[in-house]
């Protein structure tokens, strides 16, 4: 009972912290006329506060887990809103889809190759691989699929 009460208190205070951060960052963005979404600023401030332990992690752990698990619901209304803008995209649906699919593949492959090459050049790749082999060996013995 006491534990549940404590958890509820943590959740409520965590929620208040998140709302306050949102409010604060909106005010800052407005005052400084920055071209940045308020939530991004809020996220950066929150990350710094957590990193320097100004806000204890255990206080916000529960609310963050809840917030992240309900995130998908929160953009359902936006998805429904596409019906209002459908006339804008109905003529070039196929080209939009093509752009989305191709750029996703391009971004993914180029980034992976880039990171791979940078790691090769800085010489960090070799020990990495050794570690992988060590990790793989016991798993392979169990017959698991390791590599994706």
- Binding positions for another protein, 28-57, rule CB under 8 A: 35-40, 42-44, 46-47, 50-51, 57
Does 148 contact another protein by CB under 8 A? yes
Site for another protein in 51-90 (CB under 8 A): 51, 57, 60-61, 63-65, 67-68, 70-85, 88-89
The tokens for 15 are 């929620």
Does 93 contact another protein by CB under 8 A? no
Instruction: Provide the CA 96 distance to its chain's centre, in angstroms.
Output: 24
Q: Please count the other Cβ atoms lying within 10 Å of the Cβ belonging to residue 41.
A: 19
Residue nearer to another protein on the CB measure, 1 or 104: 104
Does 140 contact another protein by CB under 8 A? no
């Amino acid at each position: 009972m006491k534990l549940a009460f404590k958890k509820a208190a943590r959740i409520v205070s965590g929620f208040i912290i998140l709302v306050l951060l949102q409010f604060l960052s909106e005010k800052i963005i407005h005052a400084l006329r920055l071209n940045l979404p308020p939530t991004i600023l809020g996220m950066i401030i929150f990350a710094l506060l957590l990193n320097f332990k100004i806000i204890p992690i255990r206080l916000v752990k529960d609310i963050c887990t809840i917030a992240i698990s309900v995130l998908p619901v929160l953009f359902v209304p936006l998805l429904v809103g596409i019906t209002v803008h459908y006339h804008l995209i109905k003529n070039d649906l196929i080209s939009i889809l093509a752009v989305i699919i191709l750029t996703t593949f391009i971004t993914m492959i180029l980034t992976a190759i880039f990171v791979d090459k940078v790691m090769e050049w800085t010489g960090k790749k070799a020990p990495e691989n050794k570690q992988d082999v060590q990790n793989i060996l016991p798993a392979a013995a169990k017959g698991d699929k390791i590599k994706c």
